[in-house]
Structure 1
Amino acid sequence: MEGKNLNLSIDGYVYCFPSVANYFGGDIVSGLLYTGIYKKEELSAFIDIGTNGELVIGNKDFLVAASGAAGPALEGGISKFGMRA
């Protein structure tokens, strides 16, 4: 590629969102910020299903979150008393 001017620059932004807890990651945090349910009057639910399943229910007055293993990578990984075969 000698003699060619290759302009490979790409303009854009990269956002990194931190995890809140072990199974409550940056993907659900970014989703909450994007949807803005923490500012709304009405009750809303936000669900993210991946390797972990996360659920947030709430509004501007409160947010309640729950999470658990949802994909094959962690199946049974957090079971305390066994699981069905």
Structure 2
Amino acid sequence: MHKIKIRQSLDTDMPAIERLYPAAFPDEDLLPLVRHLLTGEPDILSLVAEAGQSIAGHVLSHSAVFPAAISGPHFWRRSPSPPGTRGRALVRR
């Protein structure tokens, strides 16, 4: 079993991120929204979960929804998922 590492996403993660969403949400086409948020919106927090050499999960948030100061690579803050979200689906393989 691999340890999960949480880190800020990189541009090079986009192909792996784009594979996650259809697998996690087969009944919804979220890729246009994800692409828009990652390329066209300011103040987006984008985190990936790495398991070994693979991206196993992705979380997006806007600073208005998740107001936290990010300082350094080790800052982590737990926040409850908004009602109606299915956060655990994001980390399924």
For the superposition of Structure 1 and Structure 2, which TM-score range results when normalised by the shorter chain? under 0.3
User: TM-score, with normalisation over the residues of structure 1?
Assistant: 0.25
Which of 1 and 2 has greater Rg? 1
Structure 2 length as normaliser, TM-score?
0.23
